[in-house]
Amino acid sequence: MRLALLLYKYFPYGGMQRDFARFIVELQARGHSCRVYYVTWQGANLPGIDARKVPVRALSNHHRNIRFHEWVQQDLARDPVDGVIGFNKMPGLDIYFAADSCYLDKAQRERGWAYRRGGRFRHFAAYEAAVFGPDSDTDILLISATEQAKFDHYYHTSPSRLHMLSPGVSKNRRRGPDAPARRDKLRQQLGVTGKDHVLLFVGSGFIKKGLDRAITGLAHMISERADQSTQLWVAGQDKERQFRHLARKLGVAKHVRFLGGRDDVSDLLLGADALIHPALDEAAGIVLLEALVAGLPVVTTDVCGYAHHIRSAGAGQVLSSPFDQAILNNAMLRTLDGYYRNQCQSRALEYAQREDLYSMHSTGAALIEQLLETRRATRGR
């Protein structure tokens, strides 16, 4: 089949973008050709794709989205495909991969009435309804039961259109026999001694993923223990200025290391002593499972779609909503306990052996194929 895959922005460090790339690999392996529509692209091109940059500009994201959709629809009319797969919400999709949170839920909980009367709200609400609403026939690939409950609440989407996928952790994130050597090498490269306690934050969305909370917790740890050996590594591509300012204000600037977007996250997971992921909103949070299969203890919030795996495994601490900074502070302090960290690691690795945390992209590609074949047969009648 000839497939069109749509996303606004590709860069190599986003969780959704990495899923996008892995789906393309699986679909190509099954013999399908993949055409990609995008607005911006950062990093190397994906092999074998028909990449079509959509030449649109606008002063706002929602006006850009509208122009993107119009341009793509015109191009598809000139050069049709057998299926249209969206990684952002928009009208006209055959299949949508639900990597993003429920927009309507966030707008209702986090924004006031004035925001919900504006053009931005109307656009994003309409594009979400075009996927999940009762007038849509888009099939939806879900990755989070937490987000499914929100979509059910607002849209009452037909269950026949909802398809839950297993997680898709890369096998190269699993802890192997070379883990101690890789840990030592990484820590040596970053100038960390054996006694230094390293907390890791991973995510290209510092506000959404709670970096301010993590830095505040770090300041409490250092103040509480008068301990200068704790560091926070920040791996991700985002604007750093306000977070550097916060670290300076709290007196911990020398303890926070901004590493930028990284291709060696698997080594960072082995080199750290705990993952800190106090997100405000996270549809899934694949880094939680990447830490789990690497045997790295996790501190996270219950708003993350994959947080239940951390709780079920006993691989760390899941903080209940509403968020309380004091509870996060204590949870971060607990990661200093070596016996506790060893317990978390043993439980995590046992869970990683018995649970399917890996098959999203292979089973998802097969499902995409099946759903599009069904659509083609139905349209042919």
Q: Hey, which residues does 8 pair with through a beta bridge?
A: none
Same domain, 188 and 330: yes
- Asked whether residue 104 carries a pLDDT value surpassing 80, the answer given is yes
Exposed e or buried b for every residue in 207-231, given b needs 16+ CB within 10 A? eebbbbbbbbbbbbbbeeeeeeebb
pLDDT of residue 350: 98
pLDDT tens track for 204-234 = 999 999 999 999 999 999 998 767 789 999 9
Q: What is the C-alpha separation between 345 and 316, in angstroms, rounded?
A: 9
**Helix, strand, or coil here: 296?**
coil
Same domain, 230 and 303: yes
Residue listed under structure tokens 């101690």: 180
Same domain, 197 and 106: no
Alpha-helical (H) ranges within the chain are 15-29, 61-78, 103-110, 119-132, 145-155, 179-189, 211-225, 241-249, 265-271, 286-294, 307-313, 325-334, 338-354, 360-380
Same domain, 159 and 215: no
Distance of CA 296 to the CA centre of its chain: 18
Q: Residue 98's domain is classified under what CATH number? A: 3.40.50.2000
Q: What is the C-alpha separation between 292 and 298, in angstroms, rounded?
A: 7
Mean pLDDT (the chain) is 96
Same domain, 160 and 180: no
Provide the pairing of β-strand 2-6 with 33-38.
Answer: parallel
Number of domains in the chain: 2
pLDDT of residue 380: 66
Same domain, 106 and 64: yes
- DSSP 8-class letter at 11: -
Cα 263 to Cα 49, 189, 211, 237: the distances in Å are: 22, 15, 20, 11
- The percentage of residues in the chain with a pLDDT greater than 70, rounded to a whole number, is 99
Same domain, 51 and 157: yes
- Asked whether residue 379 carries a pLDDT value surpassing 80, the answer given is no
Average pLDDT over residues 73-97: 98
Q: What is the C-alpha separation between 88 and 136, in angstroms, rounded?
A: 15
Residues 296, 348: contact at Cβ < 8 Å?
yes
Q: Transcribe 169-228 into DSSP letters.
A: --GGGS--TTHHHHHHHHHHHTT--TT-EEEEEE-S-TTTTTHHHHHHHHHHHHHHHT-S
**Nearest to 21, CA basis, from 73, 99, 137:** 99
Q: What is the C-alpha separation between 200 and 257, in angstroms, rounded?
A: 10
pLDDT tens track for 233-285 = 999 999 999 999 999 999 999 999 999 999 999 999 999 999 999 999 999 99
Same domain, 47 and 66: yes
Residue listed under structure tokens 């026949």: 160
- Asked whether residue 381 carries a pLDDT value surpassing 70, the answer given is no
Same domain, 69 and 111: yes
Single-letter amino acid, residue 293: V
Q: Hey, which residues does 163 pair with through a beta bridge?
A: 141
pLDDT of residue 225: 78
Same domain, 229 and 319: yes
Same domain, 90 and 180: no
Residue listed under structure tokens 């995590």: 348
- Asked whether residue 155 carries a pLDDT value surpassing 80, the answer given is yes
Range of the domain at 60: 2-166+359-380
Tokens of 140: 């939806």
Same domain, 6 and 104: yes
Confidence bin at 105 (pLDDT 50/70/90): very high
